Chains A and B, each alone.
Chain A
Amino acid sequence: GAVVSQHPSRVICKSGTSVKIECRSLDFQATTMFWYRQFPKKSLMLMATSNEGSKATYEQGVEKDKFLINHASLTLSTLTVTSAHPEDSSFYICSASGTSGRLEQYFGPGTRLTVT
């Protein structure tokens, strides 16, 4: 159990365009979802936390107007990178925690974004 999917797994887009990444909890209700960014050979950096039906809480230094997060249902959160630039190229990983009482976060497989 506790499977989290992300789509797409890889995406290449041109500078100035926007790209949307979906994160779904497949077999549990995710009351909270998290978005992380990971640079090569670096650890995960928490970008924002979102609770279903409310606005996301962004970590310091993360531009909320650039990284739009929507958590419209208990199984889906989306991250939209707006007006993408090459420096936005990264590995984006979502995770989810649910209502089961278990403590750990379950991670999605990640999305590799390349902005050309």
Chain B
Amino acid sequence: GQNIDQPTEMTATEGAIVQINCTYQTSGFNGLFWYQQHAGEAPTFLSYNVLDGLEEKGRFSSFLSRSKGYSYLLLKELQMKDSASYLCAVKRGANNLFFGTGTRLTVIP
């Protein structure tokens, strides 16, 4: 099986930086994904890490440490539209994704 943990809720201020952590325990690890999901909508892909280190894509960055079973998603220059749930998902084997409980981020003015 797999165990994937994220904080349930976070609040941050517009323009600030927020870091959402994800820890995992799994066998057959084959990469870690971050998805954004607005209420009632499908998740949209944000980032993918399979090797240790930081992947940067615009205002979003994702970090992975495989030895520690740890990842984080970093959001910079927060905007109100960034209020959403952020899902950490571990890939096992060729295809299967297993999601954490998600972190509901609220951006306040």
Interface residues of A (CB under 8 A from B): 4, 32, 34, 36, 41-46, 49, 91, 93, 95, 97, 103-110, 112
Contact = CB atoms under 8 A, between A and B. Distances in A.
Nearest to A31: B95
Interface string B87-109: 10000000111111110100000
B87 A44 contact: yes
Contacts of A105: 45, 95, 97
A110 B97 contact: no
Nearest to B8: A41
Interface size class of B (residues with CB under 8 A): 20 to 34
B95 to A, nearest CB: 5
Interface of B: 31, 33, 35, 40-45, 48, 87, 95-102, 104
Contacts of B33: 104
A61 B7 CA distance: 26
A105 B99 CA distance: 13
Contact of B45 (A41, A46, A91, A104): A104
Nearest to B103: A43
A109 B43 CA distance: 8
Nearest to B101: A43
A49 B97 CA distance: 10
A25 B40 CA distance: 20
Contacts of B100: 43
B62 to A, nearest CB: 13
B42 A46 contact: no
A103 B96 contact: no
Given A109-B42, A110-B42, A46 B96 contact: yes
A76 to B, nearest CB: 17
A105 B31 CA distance: 13
Contact of B42 (A42, A97, A107): A107
